[in-house]
Amino acid sequence: MAKLILLTGLVLLLNAQIGSAYVLSCYFTNWGQYRPGLGRYKPDNIDPCLCTHLIYAFAGMTNNEIATIEWNDVTLYQSFNGLKNQNGELKTLLAIGGWNFGTAKFTAMVATPETRQTFINSVIKFLRQYEFDGLDFDWEYPGSRGSTPQDKALFTVLVKEMLAAFEQEAKQVNRPRLMVTAAVAAGLSNIESGYQISELGQYLDYFHVMTYDFHGSWEGYTGENSPLYKGPADTGSNVYFNIDYAMNYWKNNGAPAEKLIVGFPTYGHTFILSNPSNTAVGAPTSGAGPAGPYTRQAGFWAYYEICTFLNNGATQVWDAPQDVPYAYKGNEWLGYDNIKSFQIKAEWLKQNNFGGAMVWSLDLDDFTGTFCNQGKYPLITTLKNALGLQSASCKAPSKPIGPITAPPSSGGGSGSGSSGSGSSSGGSGFCAGKAGGLYPDPSDKNGFYNCVNGRTFLQHCQAGLVFDTSCSCCNWA
């Protein structure tokens, strides 16, 4: 009987470990601090109980050594890694590279055994000094975007040498080994030219597969940012541009399923429809949708900016073949994710035995809970719950997570933000000769002009809010 009880206990323990074995890696961006008003994001805004791994983006490189980029990175590192005091199970990694970093410095660094060793030594010293638990490579991408064909093999060599150095250092200092992970491509051509998949599978702790940006305004037609499956409009190479194909390609070519982490975007891509009456997936477009008032990048909205667009009368459509939504209003079209699509993708991830979810990024979810009326971090919380991640040792902060708590009279609970919708009044000429950006409407405190490539879009803040020129955002009056 005692043996049976012991065995039952062991089975329960194993099940508990298996049940909570998923990874939830969440990226923090060191430029979120520069967003205006309610969009501003710093390590103090992070809920330490939300994710299993936090990844700080980005570090750079100088003379083949890892280096800070922002003036206050060291201060931010301290706050970021201090979150482990509130969650003893939390792991933090430092990501190096990113899209804007390009490939030239990576190519130069991997070129010789000496330059690789210089880099590896600098990484160990840097990570230990600032109390990170590992390094996340974000080389976009080995073997393309100016990177040489031999970089595909040299990337494997680098990762192999780094793991060996991490193992040796861990023994010397009697501390847990530093982790080595990579953010990797989801597009077929970039995967083929960039990675020796089965070899990397032996050395990387995790592959953070960037299963988003499959479609955007650069293509000239509407498309979903992060579709789970291919859609009826997909022809040619577009049949590969979906999560299901990308993740299975990595797995079938030798990456262990438990090391493959599925990418989830907390943002969407926007388009200007060529013909506002054609709103289908694959409809012709004339360019990027207007920039959001907080993220301020044409063709791109954070989830909290998306909620404002939806709350202001956009038509929402469920794209059943691809298991993601889209929305449109006037000539603006948006491909995005919501709670439902995150839930479906998380269930698919579990059914396919992948290692977990990766989120780009913390600062693009509705982290204040002000805009979407779905609580704080609605998308990432959906993932946390779907993956069964509850940390016993975690102490959530008692202060509000967001920088500003909305007053009770928020007018319907959707909070501050621009409508994200607006009529194009290209003929009015307000934006002619003006730099892209947001300008107040002199005749209406609630309105503002969004200038995109000389074209004029008149937009409005939500009721009760005014356009604030000090932050170029909608604020409480």
* Contacts with 311 (C-beta within 8 Å, 6 or more apart), sequence order: 412, 414, 462
Catalytic, out of 70, 89, 114, 140: 140
Residue 311 carries which side chain, given as an amino acid letter? N
Q: How many whole angstroms from its chain centre is CA 253?
A: 25
DSSP 3-state of 196? coil
User: 243-252 and 339-351 helices cross at what angle (nearest 10)?
Assistant: 20
Residue 372 carries which side chain, given as an amino acid letter? C
Of 71, 129, 123, 78, which is closest to residue 97 (Cα–Cα)?
A: 123
* Contacts with 68 (C-beta within 8 Å, 6 or more apart), sequence order: 59, 60, 74
Q: Are 74 and 130 in contact (CB under 8 A)?
A: yes
Distance CA 187, CA 163 (A): 26
Instruction: Give me the residue label for tokens 């839930």.
Output: 343
In order of 21, 86, 351, 395, the CA distances from 392 in angstroms are: 14, 11, 25, 9
What is the maximum alpha-carbon separation in the chain?
Answer: 85
DSSP 3-state of 338? coil
User: Is 169 in the active site?
Assistant: no
- R_g of the chain computed on alpha carbons: 23
Residue 207 carries which side chain, given as an amino acid letter? F
Distance CA 424, CA 427 (A): 8
Catalytic residues, by residue number, are 140
